Amino acid sequence: MQKRTWNTDTVNKVSDMVVVKGWVHARRDMGKIIFIDLRDKTGLLQVVFAPKEVGGAYEFAKTLRAEYVVEIKGTVQKRTEKTINPKLETGTVEVLATDLKILNESKTPPFELDKDTRAVNEEVRLKYRYLDLRSERMHNNLALRDKVISFFRNYMHEHGFIEIETPILIKGTPEGAREFIVPSRLHGGKFYVLPQSPQQFKQLCMVAGFERYFQIARCFRDEDQRGDRQPEFTQLDFEMSFVEREDILKYTEEMFIEMVATVAPEKKLSHTPFPRLTYVEAMEKYGTDKPDLRKNKNDPNELAFCWVLDFPMFEKLEDGTIQAMHHPFCDVHPADLEKLDSDPMSVRANAYDLVLNGYELSSGSIRIHKRELQNKIFHLLGLADDEIEKKFGHMLEAFEYGAPPHGGFAPGIDRIVMLLAGEPNIREVMAYPKTGDARDPMMGAPSGLPPKALKEAHVKVVE
Ligand code: ASP
């Protein structure tokens, strides 16, 4: 069998006989000839069926409908000057078909795939996500996401990091959100939870001496779906040993500048180096800890990064209890150590955020690496000794075996790609996102389970 040619490679094969495969994007009958736009993963290609060609392909082509899957044999020919289509990568050529094979038929899709599908009802788009993803915009978004992720992976490797996978079934790690729980079949009445982030494991990788860890990490948070949240999302999670805040800011800033120049060279950065604001300055000047510092908010190519530093260590909830503003593993700002006992609410954490165009891209901090201080923070957060031991005994113990000073960061991949792609929400840059209320209309998740499965998991559903 003749080797298949990608659509975009036909431009280099004028006069050759080729076999192309893909989907019928559109069919146009022009009296004596039929045109189809054939779509494959590389793009569109015009194929011509003319009655004088041998093999009967012309008659057969009359039965083609949108989204049929076909294999076509034919000759690549140069288009005449007048018929060149500058909008297509293959616009200088077309294939004159001699053979047509229909590999599969297609029902009429529930919405048009050659238009911007953002106008289509989202429930329908998500139910037929595999069709929605056929559209050019969604293909481009996922290709951009792939570029961003592979840029980060390469950059991390070039800078001495190794990627380490951490478990998905874990014991809870408190980061302010509710956790998804997974009943254990083998240990009746016990539960795993899904990680809100690899926070504790990455810190333990530092205790383990890896010094530079990263992971393209899936994170899970069972939150009420407000705004543009998803129950699962992806972070570029990383951690470094023997560093101070400045090292992490510098590393991250250089990485982001290079990332933009590499994957989105049409974008321009409003300010380099990235401006730095303290939390107090940001709140006083902009009334938010994620200020939008763009000079022209209508310019789709402007990217305004900034740092927000020195977040408060603690915040008071409405019920008067104290909670860690970021998470309880953040180190105390060196200048505020003295005030931990006398005035804890005024203590700053050695924590920092990276903000882009008014979105929080990432939070991070230098971490506590000594048992005594970590224990003290847990106490200030109102935890009793036995609770601390039960929840965090392993961290405290690890800190007693030569834990190095360390710190890290975790930029959100979905938001980065959303902003680079100019999309209004992160669902547009995720292959299979959930609806606003955390459902998957395609698979039908979440769903009930048969009584046997529930019984094995020791789960009883109460109304
Ligand atoms: N684990 C943190 C988060 O998910 C990030 C970090 O402190 O590195 O926000």
| Per-residue 3-state assignment (H helix, E strand, C coil) for 334-375 | HHHCCHHHHCHHHCEECEEEEEECCEEEEEEEEECCCHHHHH
Is-contact 239 274, C-beta < 8 A?
Answer: no
- With a CB cutoff of 8 Å and minimum separation 6, the contacts of 182 are 169, 191, 192, 193, 194
Give the start-end residues of each E strand in 221-321. 232-241, 268-269, 276-278, 302-303, 305-309, 314-316
In a mutational test of the pocket of ligand 1, which residue from 175, 229, 248 has the highest number of ligand atoms less than 8 Å from its CB?
175
Q: For residue 238, report the distance from its CA to the centre of ligand 1, in Å.
A: 9
Q: Which amino acid residue places its CA nearest to atom 4 of ligand 1?
A: 197
Annotated binding-site residue? 223? yes
Annotated binding-site residue? 326? yes
Average pLDDT of every residue of the chain: 95
Is-contact 17 54, C-beta < 8 A?
Answer: no
Q: For residue 111, report the distance from its CA to the centre of ligand 1, in Å.
A: 40
Q: Which amino acid residue places its CA nearest to atom 9 of ligand 1?
A: 363
Residue 332 pLDDT: 98
Closest-CA residue to 356 (of 309, 290, 402): 290
Is-contact 74 16, C-beta < 8 A?
Answer: no
Residue 223 pLDDT: 87
Q: For residue 352, report the distance from its CA to the centre of ligand 1, in Å.
A: 10
Report the topology of domain 7-104. OB fold (Dihydrolipoamide Acetyltransferase, E2P) (2.40.50)
Question: What number does the ligand 1 atom closest to the CA of 364 have?
Answer: 7
Q: For residue 199, report the distance from its CA to the centre of ligand 1, in Å.
A: 6
Question: What number does the ligand 1 atom closest to the CA of 199 have?
Answer: 1
Question: Domain locations in the chain?
Answer: 7-104, 130-428
Annotated binding-site residue? 412? yes
Residue type at position 218:
R
Q: Which amino acid residue places its CA nearest to atom 1 of ligand 1?
A: 199
pLDDT per residue as tens digits for the range 2-53: 899 999 999 999 999 999 999 999 999 998 899 999 999 999 999 999 987 6
Closest-CA residue to 44 (of 103, 85, 1, 78): 85
The span from the CA of 214 to the CA of 196, in Å, is 16
Residue 173 pLDDT: 65
The span from the CA of 42 to the CA of 143, in Å, is 11
> Encoding tokens for residue 73?
């044999």
Question: What number does the ligand 1 atom closest to the CA of 408 have?
Answer: 8
Annotated binding-site residue? 33? no
Q: For residue 410, report the distance from its CA to the centre of ligand 1, in Å.
A: 5
The span from the CA of 345 to the CA of 316, in Å, is 8
Annotated binding-site residue? 224? no
pLDDT per residue as tens digits for the range 266-293: 999 999 999 999 999 999 999 999 999 9
Pocket of ligand 1 (CB under 6 A): 175, 197, 199, 363-365, 408-410
| Peptide bond just before 344 cis, omega within 30 deg | no
pLDDT per residue as tens digits for the range 417-440: 999 999 999 999 999 999 999 999
- With a CB cutoff of 8 Å and minimum separation 6, the contacts of 384 are none
Q: For residue 217, report the distance from its CA to the centre of ligand 1, in Å.
A: 11
Query: Which range among 177-181, 296-300, 395-399 shows the weakest confidence by mean pLDDT?
Result: 177-181
Annotated binding-site residue? 271? no
Annotated binding-site residue? 125? no
The span from the CA of 6 to the CA of 119, in Å, is 30
Report the topology of domain 130-428. BirA Bifunctional Protein; domain 2 (3.30.930)
Q: For residue 254, report the distance from its CA to the centre of ligand 1, in Å.
A: 20
Question: What number does the ligand 1 atom closest to the CA of 362 have?
Answer: 9
Question: What number does the ligand 1 atom closest to the CA of 365 have?
Answer: 7
Checking if the pLDDT of 129 tops 80, the result is yes
Residue 58 pLDDT: 87
Residue 175 pLDDT: 64
Q: For residue 385, report the distance from its CA to the centre of ligand 1, in Å.
A: 25
The span from the CA of 116 to the CA of 131, in Å, is 12
pTM over 0.85: yes
In a mutational test of the pocket of ligand 1, which residue from 363, 365, 366 has the highest number of ligand atoms less than 8 Å from its CB?
363
Q: Which amino acid residue places its CA nearest to atom 7 of ligand 1?
A: 364
- With a CB cutoff of 8 Å and minimum separation 6, the contacts of 245 are 309, 350, 352, 366, 407
Is-contact 184 192, C-beta < 8 A?
Answer: yes
Q: For residue 301, report the distance from its CA to the centre of ligand 1, in Å.
A: 28
* Per-residue pLDDT band at 174 (split at 50, 70, 90): low
The span from the CA of 380 to the CA of 377, in Å, is 5
Annotated binding-site residue? 94? no
Annotated binding-site residue? 367? yes
The span from the CA of 160 to the CA of 183, in Å, is 38
pLDDT per residue as tens digits for the range 53-88: 666 788 899 999 999 999 999 999 999 999 999 999
- Across the range 224-250, mean pLDDT stands at 93
Is-contact 243 213, C-beta < 8 A?
Answer: no
